A and B are shown apart, each in its own frame.
Chain A
Amino acid sequence: MLQKSLTTCAVGLLLVTPALARANDSAELEKIRAEIQQLREGYETRIQALEAKLRETGAAADRAEESAQRAETAATQASTPPARANAFNPETSLILQGAYKDKKNLPNRHITGFLPTAGAPDNTRGFSADASELSLAANIDSWLRGYANLVFMDGSVEVEEAYFETLGLGKGFTLKGGRFRSGIGYQNEMHPHAWDFADNNLMYQALFGEGALQDGVQLKWLAPTELMVELGAEAGRGAAINNANQNGAASVNLFAHVGGDIGVSHAWRAGLSWMHAKVDHRSFSGNDLAAQPITGDFTGKSRIWLADFVYKWAPNGNASYNNFKLQGEYFHRTEHGSLACSDPLSPALCAGSGLDGGYRSAQSGFYLQGVYQFMPRWRGGLRYDQLYRGSADLNGSDIGNTISELADHDPHRSTAMLDFSPSEFSLFRLQYAHDQSMAGVTDRQITLQYILSLGAHGAHRF
Chain B
Amino acid sequence: MNTLWKLLPALLLAFAPVAGATVNVLACEPEWGALARELGGDKVSVYDATTAMQDPHRIQARPSLIARARSADLLVCTGAELEIGWLPILLRQSGNAAIQPGKPGYFEAAPLVRRLEIPTRLDRADGDIHPGGNPHIQLDPRNIAKVGVALAQRLSEIDRGNAAFYQARQKDFAQRWQSAMQRWETQAAPLKGIAIVSQHKAFPYLYDWLGLREVATLEPKPGVEPSSSHLAEVLAQLQQQPARMVIRAAYQDERPANWMSEKAKIPAVVLPFTVGGADHTDDLFGLFEVTISRLIAAASRDDAK
Contact = CB atoms under 8 A, between A and B. Distances in A.
A-B complex is real: yes
Interface of A: 72, 75-76, 79-81, 142, 145, 165, 167-174, 220-230, 257-261, 264, 267-269, 312, 316-321, 376-377, 423-425, 457, 459-462
Given A258-B63, A462-B63, 8 more contacts: A80-B132, A168-B95, A225-B18, A226-B16, A316-B53, A461-B60, A461-B61, A462-B61
A40 B256 CA distance: 77
Most chain A C-beta atoms within 10 Å of own C-beta, residue among B63, B71, B99, B223: B63
B114 A226 contact: no
5 contacts: A167-B92, A174-B95, A221-B95, A222-B67, A225-B17
Interface range for B = 35 or more
Interface in B108-137: 111-116, 118, 124, 127-128, 131-133
A79 B133 contact: yes
Interface in B81-111: 81, 84-89, 91-100, 102-103, 111
Contact of B64 (A267, A425, A460): A267
Contacts of B113: 76
A196 to B, nearest CB: 14
A225 B67 contact: yes
A168 B99 CA distance: 8
A222 B67 CA distance: 8
A386 to B, nearest CB: 27
Name B's interface SS: loop
Interface string B267-283: 00000000000000000
B253 interface: yes
B103 to A, nearest CB: 8
10 residue pairs, one from A and one from B, having the closest CB atoms: A259-B63, A168-B97, A228-B63, A170-B97, A228-B67, A316-B53, A79-B115, A172-B95, A261-B64, A227-B14
B66 interface: yes
A220 B66 CA distance: 13
Most chain A C-beta atoms within 10 Å of own C-beta, residue among B53, B68, B96, B111: B96
Contacts of B301: none
Contact of A316 (B54, B93, B114): B54
A315 to B, nearest CB: 8
Nearest to B47: A226
A81 B110 CA distance: 12
Interface of B: 13-18, 50-51, 53-55, 58-64, 66-68, 70-71, 81, 84-89, 91-100, 102-103, 111-116, 118, 124, 127-128, 131-133, 223-225, 251, 253
Nearest to B61: A462
Given A168-B100, A457-B85, A264 B51 contact: yes
A227 B16 CA distance: 8
Contacts of B13: 226
Contact of A317 (B51, B61, B81): B51
B116 to A, nearest CB: 8
A318 B58 CA distance: 8
Contacts of B118: 79, 81
A459 B54 contact: no
B112 A260 contact: no
Contacts of B63: 228, 257-261, 267-269, 462
Nearest to A454: B124
A423 B66 contact: no
Given A72-B114, A317-B51, A321-B253, A169 B97 contact: yes
Most chain A C-beta atoms within 10 Å of own C-beta, residue among B14, B95, B103, B124: B95
A224 B18 contact: yes
Nearest to B113: A76
Contacts of B223: 423
B64 A170 contact: no
A459 B85 contact: yes
A389 B135 CA distance: 54
Given A79-B133, A80-B132, A172-B96, A225 B89 contact: no
Given A81-B132, A145-B92, A425-B124, A227 B81 contact: no
B58 A320 contact: yes
B224 A423 contact: yes
Nearest to B118: A79
A425 B127 CA distance: 10
Contacts of A269: 63
Nearest to A456: B84
Contacts of B116: 79
Contacts of B124: 423, 425
A167 to B, nearest CB: 6
A228 B61 contact: no
B95 A169 contact: yes
B82 to A, nearest CB: 11
Contacts of A259: 62-64, 66-67
A169 B129 CA distance: 33
A171 B81 CA distance: 27
A269 B91 CA distance: 18
A366 B274 CA distance: 44
B109 to A, nearest CB: 12
Contacts of B54: 316-318
Contact of A461 (B89, B115, B253): B89
B133 A172 contact: no
Contacts of A142: 102
B66 A222 contact: yes
Given A226-B14, A423-B224, A459-B85, A167 B100 contact: yes
Contacts of A225: 14-18, 67
Contact of A260 (B14, B85, B99): B14
B57 to A, nearest CB: 9
Contacts of A172: 70, 94-96
B53 A460 contact: no
Contacts of B131: 81
A245 to B, nearest CB: 32
A257 B67 CA distance: 12
Nearest to A268: B63
